[in-house]
Amino acid sequence: MAGRERRPDGGGWRVWTRRPGAGPRGRVLAALAVAVAALTALHRFVPNAGLRLGSLLENLLPWSGAAVVLLALCALLRRARGALVALLLPAVVWAVHFGPLLLPGGPAGARELLVAQHNVADDNPDPAGTARALSAANADLVALEELVEPALGTYREALASRYPYHAVHGTVGLWSRYPITGHRPVDIKPRDVTEPWLRALRAVVRAPHGETVVYVAHLPSVRVGPGGLASARRDESAARLGALLAAEEADRLVLAGDLNGTVDDRGLAPLTSRLAVPERGFALSYPAALPVARIDQVFAGGGTVPRVRTLPATGSDHLPVLAGIAWTGPAGR
């Protein structure tokens, strides 16, 4: 930008130019870049009382990368070199936090357990097709939520040939290649829920790598509205489930389910603080039409979760996810 102004001594005019991007808009873009970096790096300090803005931010945290890209495009259009330099800060913060998820996972190991997790949706128009898609994933365990009749009968029949062992309690179920030696319902119902509500189970699977305790859970839904993120019930159920996991003495533990939150969501801290979460893969699973977050999870105790990925869409509003669990302890038992 250029202009003219009179010299202070009255000796005529002088021409001045402004460096591109040095104006107010460039400074605004730079300030926004710093804000994005701060929110990404320091999201735990965002208050969660009342509107639960902290949890809301944490569920959308990976999309801070999209904000960096958008700001970079604006800076390029404005030729705001200072803003582009400032954008290096949120870019580095995002890369440190989420970059490892983009790295390729290694091949499956001999002692790895493959777990498929899917909220099949109680209004799924094609349960038979959903069951076939899950079978094609060739997982060792299949955890399902929102199982209702008559679709439940379809899943039992369609999965029986590949998974001869299964357990269903309420609206959650587990199908297994390996014997299920015991199973029972688990009570994680929020205190203010008065209607029948059974959405978790515990099973013991006799797998080749050793006896494994498997939890399947469907935590309460969350909603975003004028009052912020309504997640109190979800958080309460997560705390109750976390207490049960803390009491487990099993060497190998799997939690699979629709947890209605991402691994960064502080509402799931009672679970993520005790169990290993996926190390590779974004696997955004909800909503299936345009996924923005992975709320379908597979966690492990006594091992790691080297990678997670989504499977092709089914008749559900969730995408199935497939995760590999690598055990770190000795085999057997």
Task: Please give the Cα distance from 242 to 268 (Å, whole number).
Answer: 9
Residue by residue, pLDDT tens for the chain (333 residues) are 555 555 555 555 655 555 555 566 689 999 999 999 999 999 999 998 888 999 999 999 999 999 999 999 999 998 889 999 999 999 999 999 999 999 887 665 656 999 999 999 999 999 999 999 999 999 999 999 999 999 999 999 999 999 999 999 999 999 999 999 999 999 999 999 999 999 999 999 999 989 999 999 999 999 888 878 999 999 999 999 999 999 999 999 999 999 999 999 999 999 999 999 999 999 999 999 999 999 999 999 999 999 999 999 999 999 999 999 999 866 554
Tokens, residue 321: 């996810």
Q: Write the CA distances from 264 to 90, 99, 129, 159, 271, integer angstroms.
A: 17, 15, 32, 33, 11
Tokens, residue 270: 């009672």
Q: Which fold has domain 112-327?
A: Deoxyribonuclease I; Chain A (3.60.10)
Listed by start position, the domains of the chain span 2-102, 112-327
Tokens, residue 239: 């705390």
Task: Please give the Cα distance from 269 to 263 (Å, whole number).
Answer: 8
Using alpha carbons, select from 285, 304, 303 the residue that is nearest to residue 294: 285
Q: Would you state the pLDDT for residue 153?
A: 97
Which amino acid, residue 245? L
Class of residue 125 by CB neighbours under 10 A (exposed 0-12, middle 13-18, buried 19+): exposed
Q: Would you state the pLDDT for residue 210?
A: 93
Q: Would you state the pLDDT for residue 108?
A: 59
On whether the CB atoms of residues 94 and 43 are closer than 8 A, the answer is: no
